Amino acid sequence: MLPTAPLRDLARSVGFDLVGFARAEPIPPTFIMEWLEAGFAADMDWMGERVAERLDVDRLLPGARTVISFVNNYWRDDEVSVGSPIARYARGRDYHSTLRDRMKAFRKAVIRMSPGLGTYGSVDSGPLMEKVWAARAGLGYVGKNGCFITEPYGSWVLLATLILDAEVDDYGTGPAADRCGACRRCLMSCPTGALVGNGRVDARACLSYQTIENREQQVPEAFRLKFDNLIFGCDICQQVCPLNRRPVFAEHPRFAPRAVAELGTLELAGLTPTQYEELIPGTALARARYDVLRRNAVYALGVARQADSRYLLEKLCGDSSELVRTAAQWALCKLDP
Ligand code: B12
Ligand code: SF4
Ligand code: SF4
């Protein structure tokens, strides 16, 4: 049995803001099955492909006993990125590598303490329900906005998860008390009605999905009309949340905005392949390809009816990417209704 006190110190020393421990018990299937059956996963087929693993971490690490949940606050208000159309979590260095590096350092040190220990770690991409583990570990709860909300940092947090095949001496007591109460601000503010109750998000309507995961086709017009200075991810349901009113500045330079977060939509729509290669690798924006990022920025220019974008939009009507060409034609029509 591992003692949690030194593990907590270790988590802090590698850079995590919060850490908690949950027993590796199976997750009831209702949440994810109902979500998948309702079609809320849109075309993220990978969400339905490894459901058995998502529900039972023993399938990821045979003999799993404990799930450690790590939290990093990432909120910053640097002057340079105040008007950025990129969601906050994606403005700095790619969080996957930041949290992964921290978890690797943690894992290495724990294995030194307990040789032979089996582990399985993931940040975002593994078949794990990370918010459920963070809730079970007692670090907060899932709000009506579908986000994991902590007491000290609100929902401006990212999660990493590590499974161990050993027990620890102190487990979290489950989700923190729900602090949403009668508030419905996120539900009222979501521009596309993607919040469908009880913390469920219909990804088909969520602008985060449409800007990042919908990479093959045009975004349905009803949604692209909501690309209001928003081209990668969406923070609206977090910005309006009263539990996010007292954010804490994330000091670590890895969370500092990169050069791309200083650009506006016009500059992003006009990115050259060379600029893309200079600015995007190493950030979470790399998930959207060159053409997808420009498609999104072009929509935002159309929505803003920005007169100074006419020259660029006309040029993009002849772009080699069909995705960008069609978006530019649409945006030009918005300029000349
Ligand atoms: C698919 C996905 C998306 C989809 C769907 C969003 C969603 N809420 O499901 C899309 C593309 C829309 C998306 C958007 C975003 N995402 Co996302 N996403 C994921 C991913 C890969 C899986 C989530 C999932 O399993 N969804 C399926 C539903 C059914 O499960 P669920 O989200 O856990 O919700 C249910 C359970 O939590 C259950 N529940 C609630 N409390 C409890 C307690 C217990 C004990 C139990 C058993 C169950 C339970 O009720 C919920 C509703 O059914 C996770 C990473 C991961 N591997 O977990 C990141 C993750 C959730 N995303 C993250 C982020 C940062 C975002 C964005 C904020 C990015 C942005 N700025 O645009 C937005 C937020 C949108 C929103 N309002 O939720 C962070 C979470 C940050 C946070 N504070 O919550 C994660 C954890 C990635 C990470 N490692 O940090 N995302
Ligand atoms: S991220 Fe944006 S679109 Fe998605 S649920 Fe929140 S407010 Fe709605
Ligand atoms: S806006 Fe209100 S209802 Fe939505 S998550 Fe925040 S406190 Fe809960």
- Using the atom order of ligand 1, give the atom closest to the CA of residue 156: 83
Active site residues: 124
From 224, 251, 278, the end of a domain falls on 251
**Ligand 2: does its nearest atom lie under 6 Å from the Cβ of 201?**
yes
What spacing in Å lies between the alpha carbon of 165 and ligand 3's midpoint? 36
- Give the pLDDT of residue 305: 95
Contacting residues for 200 by C-beta, under 8 A, at least 6 apart: 35, 40, 146
Residue whose CA is closest, atom 4 of ligand 2? 206
Do 239 and 117 belong together in one domain? yes
Do 121 and 20 belong together in one domain? yes
Residue 232 located in a structural domain: yes
3-state SS record for 166-231: CCECCCCCCCCCCCCCCCCHHHHHCCCCCECCCCCECHHHCHHHHHHHCCCCCCCHHHHCCCCCCC
pTM: 0.98
Question: How far from chain centre, in Å, is Cα 20?
Answer: 20
* 297: DSSP letter: H
Question: What stretches of the chain show up as alpha helix (H) in DSSP?
Answer: 4-13, 30-37, 46-49, 51-55, 95-113, 130-136, 185-189, 207-208, 221-224, 236-239, 265-269, 273-279, 290-304, 310-316, 322-335
Do 278 and 239 belong together in one domain? no
Residue 90 located in a structural domain: yes
Distance CA 14, CA 88 (A): 23
Do 235 and 151 belong together in one domain? yes
What spacing in Å lies between the alpha carbon of 9 and ligand 3's midpoint? 32
Each residue's pLDDT tens digit, 237-286: 999 999 999 999 999 999 999 999 999 999 999 999 999 999 999 999 99
From 193, 218, 251, the end of a domain falls on 251
pLDDT over 90 (residue 156): yes
Each residue's pLDDT tens digit, 122-151: 999 999 999 999 999 999 999 999 999 999
- Give the pLDDT of residue 336: 80
Q: How many domains are there within the chain?
A: 2
Residue whose CA is closest, atom 40 of ligand 1? 142
Q: Which of 86, 142, 206 for mutating ligand 2's site (highest number of atoms within 8 Å of CB)?
A: 206
Q: Collapse the DSSP code of 55 into the 3-class scheme (helix H, G, I; strand E, B; otherwise coil) and give the result.
A: helix
Considering every ligand atom shown, identify the ligand nearest to the alpha carbon of residue 146 and give its number: 1
What spacing in Å lies between the alpha carbon of 129 and ligand 3's midpoint? 21
Residue 146: closest CA among 57, 208, 89: 208
Residue 86 located in a structural domain: yes
Q: Which of 150, 183, 188 for mutating ligand 3's site (highest number of atoms within 8 Å of CB)?
A: 183
Each residue's pLDDT tens digit, 190-241: 999 999 999 999 999 999 999 999 998 999 999 999 999 999 999 999 999 9
**Ligand 2: does its nearest atom lie under 6 Å from the Cβ of 195?**
yes
Do 37 and 152 belong together in one domain? yes
> What values do phi and psi take at 138, rounded to 5?
85, 20
Do 271 and 336 belong together in one domain? yes
The encoded tokens of residue 66 equal: 């404990």
Each residue's pLDDT tens digit, 173-199: 999 999 999 999 999 999 999 999 999
- Using the atom order of ligand 1, give the atom closest to the CA of residue 96: 89
* 251: DSSP letter: -
Torsion sign across C-alpha atoms 189, 197, 127, 255: positive
Domain that holds residue 268: 263-337
Do 239 and 301 belong together in one domain? no
Do 246 and 290 belong together in one domain? no
Considering every ligand atom shown, identify the ligand nearest to the alpha carbon of residue 199 and give its number: 1
Each residue's pLDDT tens digit, 288-299: 899 999 999 999
- Give the pLDDT of residue 134: 98
Do 276 and 232 belong together in one domain? no
Residue 322 located in a structural domain: yes
CATH number reported for the structural domain that contains residue 318 in this entry: 1.25.10
Do 68 and 182 belong together in one domain? yes
Q: Collapse the DSSP code of 13 into the 3-class scheme (helix H, G, I; strand E, B; otherwise coil) and give the result.
A: helix
- Give the pLDDT of residue 240: 98
Residue whose CA is closest, atom 8 of ligand 3? 180
What spacing in Å lies between the alpha carbon of 244 and ligand 1's midpoint? 17
Residue 256 located in a structural domain: no
Do 146 and 268 belong together in one domain? no
pLDDT over 90 (residue 307): no
Do 152 and 197 belong together in one domain? yes
Share of the chain above pLDDT 90, in %: 98
Residue 87 located in a structural domain: yes
- Give the pLDDT of residue 101: 98
pLDDT over 80 (residue 337): no
Residue 224 located in a structural domain: yes
Residue 286 located in a structural domain: yes
Each residue's pLDDT tens digit, 38-82: 999 999 999 999 999 999 999 999 999 999 999 999 999 999 999
From 190, 218, 251, the end of a domain falls on 251
- Give the pLDDT of residue 165: 98
Average pLDDT over all residues of the chain: 97
Q: Which helix (H) or strand (E) holds 159?
A: strand 157-164
What spacing in Å lies between the alpha carbon of 156 and ligand 1's midpoint? 13
